[in-house]
Structure 1
C-alpha cells in the first residue's frame, strides 16, 4: 500500500467557514482522496490553520512556517510515496508576504526539501504534487477581508506561478481553483462540498502518478 502525505493549511485541516471548528472527517479533501484511490493508498493529513510556505508568523502559538516543520514530518512518516502540497493562501496576508510570486518561491523550496531530504536507505524519494489553492473572494468578514487586502487579485496568479515552478523542478501540478471556490462567509475557506471536490479531483491525478 502506498503512503501519501497531504501537507497544507486550514483548507487541508478542514476549517468550516460557517463557524464550526472543522468539517466532518469524511468531508475533508485528504479523506476523499484516500477514498478515491480505492484502498491502494493511505493519506496522512497534515493540515494546520495559518501555515505558510516558508514565512514566519509569530502571531500563533504553533509553528506556522511550513519549511521548518516539513523535514520532521518527512522523517516521522517515511516511507512516503507522494507528498501533495497545497499552501500559499496564508502567504498572501498583508503582514506576511502579500504576493503569489512569493508563495510560489516558497512552494518551490518545499518541493526541494521533499526531493533532497535524507531518507532512510530503503525509503523512496516521494513524488511531489503542487496544488495551487482556490482563489480568495470578496467577503465582509471583519478580520479576513482586511487581512487579504490584495489576496483576491494575487490568488488568481497562483496557477501560473505554481505551474511554472512545477515544470522547472519536475513536479506534478494541479489547480484547485478549477474545482473549488471559497465561501463568501469569509472569502478564504471552503464549504464541505468544495472541500470534497478537491480530493475527488486529485484522486485520478495521484493514481496516475503512482501507477495505482
Structure 2
C-alpha cells in the first residue's frame, strides 16, 4: 500500500463555492485521484490534510493555526513512510489582509519543501518526493468571500511561474493546475465539482509516475 499525503487548503478540502458545505470524498480531487489510481491497479491510500484558510507560511490575524509551516514536519513523521507528498497551497496568501505577491508565496512553498525534507522520520524511512501544485489563478472574487479576497486576482499574478522556478531550484516536481482547471465563477477562488474531477484524473496520471511498480 502506497501512502500519499495531500497537504493543502479549502481548494482540496472540497468546499462548495459560496457555501460552507463540503463535497464528498469521491468528488474531491484527492478522492478522485485515489479512485483513478486504484482502478489502474495501484494500491494507494490518499491522506487528506487540508485546512480551510491555510497559508504557506503566513499567519491569519483572525484565525489561529493557518500557518502551513506549523506542525508540517510532525505531519510527515506521523504519516511516514510516505510515497509522495503533494503541496497545493498559496491562494490564501493573497487574502486582503496580506500584501503578498507570487514571489512571497513561492518562498513559502520553498520553506515547506525544506521542512518536509528535514522532518524527523524514523531511521531507514525514505524522505518522500514532493509534488508542488500551483492553484489556478484567482478570478475577481464574488459572494461570501469577496471581502476576504478583494484584490487577490491581481496579487496572485505569476504564481505558476514563480512556483516552477522554485521547484527547478529545489529539484522537486511541479504541476500548474491552471493548465487543466479554472477557479469557480461562483466565488472566483474555489473549484466546482467538475473541476475537481478533471484535476483528480490529471493528478492520477502525474502521480502514477512516482509510484514504484
TM-score range, shorter chain: over 0.9
Q: Is contact 1:83-1:129 (8 Å) kept?
A: yes
Task: Compute the displacement of 1:97 (Å).
Answer: 4.2
The equivalent residue for 1:10 is: 10
The equivalent residue for 1:27 is: 27
Structure 1 residues 44 and 144, CA gap change in structure 2 (3 angstroms):
same
Structure 1 residues 22 and 107, CA gap change in structure 2 (3 angstroms):
same
The equivalent residue for 1:209 is: 210
Report Cα offsets for 1:43-65 as digits up to 9, x if no partner: 101111000000011311x5110
The reply to whether residue 51 of structure 1 matches residue 42 of structure 2 is no
The equivalent residue for 1:99 is: 101
Report Cα offsets for 1:143-173 as digits up to 9, x if no partner: 5334333321333411100001011001000
Give the unaligned 5+ runs of structure 2: none
The alignment covers a number of residue pairs equal to 210
Q: Is contact 1:54-1:66 (8 Å) kept?
A: yes
Give distance in 2, aligned partners of 1:97 and 1:64. Answer: 17
TM-score, scaled to structure 2: 0.92
Q: Is contact 2:141-2:150 (8 Å) kept?
A: no
The equivalent residue for 2:37 is: 37
Q: Is contact 1:179-1:197 (8 Å) kept?
A: yes
TM-score, scaled to structure 1: 0.93
Give the unaligned 5+ runs of structure 1: none
For residue 125 of structure 1, give the secondary structure of its aligned residue in structure 2: coil
Q: Is contact 1:57-1:96 (8 Å) kept?
A: no
Give distance in 1, aligned partners of 2:132 and 2:99. Answer: 19
Task: Compute the displacement of 1:18 (Å).
Answer: 4.6
Report Cα offsets for 1:24-72 as digits up to 9, x if no partner: 1111111111112223221101111000000011311x51100013112
Report Cα offsets for 1:151-210 as digits up to 9, x if no partner: 213334111000010110010000011111111221111111111222211111111122
Please, which moves more after superposition, 124-133 or 110-119? Answer: 110-119
Runs of 4+ aligned residues of structure 1 deviating over 3 Å after TM superposition are: none
For residue 124 of structure 1, give the secondary structure of its aligned residue in structure 2: coil
The reply to whether residue 132 of structure 1 matches residue 134 of structure 2 is yes
Give distance in 2, aligned partners of 1:125 and 1:97. Answer: 34
